[in-house]
């Protein structure tokens, strides 16, 4: 007499079916956990802004967020985000100014080299002083940023960092005032990373 072999889970012993359900639930939870981690790693929620100002939608995606970028690429993306946030608040776009960008980059590199973080240098030079020293004229507004990461891989300069920095500045009253100043027309951007320490310095200059 042939022995019948069942292949449908309905005919497995109750204990075996429970084991399969537990295994399936564990796999589902793992997948959800990985999905949440990936979302946090590659996507930023900018929120809606404040009571009297708005925040633009993130421009980074899973596909473009973490690749290392050159300084011109970083500056172009930073300008895109600045003008995104100005546009949603009814303000005209800014244009990049090469001298402002030079001043911003010099200050970022100086803070990294001398391990300080301030709008005023150890010698007492203000943003306007530093701009004048390279041939600029007039007063300037300045936003600065310092972030430290324990993992060296996060010191890579990428678009996700630029998006995160812009978000931090926009949710800070004083920095947002510079970004959304109605009379500003030009902007400069500088950024530098120190992989051994994990520090990243970024500077925005406005005029």
Contact (Cβ atoms closer than 8 angstroms) between residue 65 and residue 102: no
Using one digit for the tens of pLDDT, what is the confidence trace for 106-163?
Answer: 999 999 999 999 999 999 999 999 999 999 999 999 999 999 865 444 458 999 999 9
Identify the CA nearest to 165 among candidates 141, 149, 152, 184: 149
Q: What is the mean pLDDT of the chain?
A: 85
Contact (Cβ atoms closer than 8 angstroms) between residue 103 and residue 188: yes
Beta bridge partners of 206: 141, 187
Determine the pLDDT at residue 11: 56
Helices (H) and strands (E) in the chain, counts: 6, 4
Using one digit for the tens of pLDDT, what is the confidence trace for 23-56?
Answer: 665 565 554 433 433 444 456 899 989 999 999 9
Identify the CA nearest to 110 among candidates 192, 176, 167, 4: 192
Q: How far is CA 140 from the centre of its chain?
A: 24
Q: Between β-strands 141-148 and 186-194, what pairing exists: parallel, antiparallel or unpaired?
A: unpaired
Which residues, 6 or more positions from 197, have their beta carbon under 8 angstroms from its beta carbon?
Answer: 148
The arithmetic mean of pLDDT across residues 75-89, rounded, is 98
Identify the three-state secondary structure at position 206.
strand
Identify the CA nearest to 38 among candidates 55, 61, 57, 56: 61
């Amino acid at each position: 007499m042939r022995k019948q072999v069942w292949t449908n889970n309905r005919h497995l012993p109750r204990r075996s079916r429970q084991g399969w359900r537990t295994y399936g639930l564990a796999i589902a939870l793992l997948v959800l956990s990985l999905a949440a981690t990936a979302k946090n790693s590659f996507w930023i929620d900018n929120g809606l802004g404040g009571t009297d100002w708005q925040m633009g939608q993130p421009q980074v995606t899973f596909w473009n967020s973490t690749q290392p970028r050159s300084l011109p690429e970083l500056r172009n993306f930073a300008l895109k985000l600045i003008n995104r946030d100005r546009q949603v608040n009814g303000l005209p776009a800014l244009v990049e100014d090469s001298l402002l960008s030079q001043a911003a980059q010099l200050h970022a590199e100086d803070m990294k080299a001398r391990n300080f973080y301030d709008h005023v240098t150890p010698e007492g030079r203000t943003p306007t002083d530093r701009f004048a020293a390279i041939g600029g004229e007039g007063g300037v507004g300045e936003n600065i940023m310092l972030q430290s990461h324990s993992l060296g891989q996060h010191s890579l300069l990428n678009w996700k960092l630029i998006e995160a920095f812009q978000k931090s500045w926009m949710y800070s009253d004083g920095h947002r005032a510079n970004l959304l100043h109605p009379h500003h027309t030009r902007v400069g951007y500088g950024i530098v990373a120190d992989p051994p320490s994990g520090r990243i310095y970024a500077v925005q200059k406005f005029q």
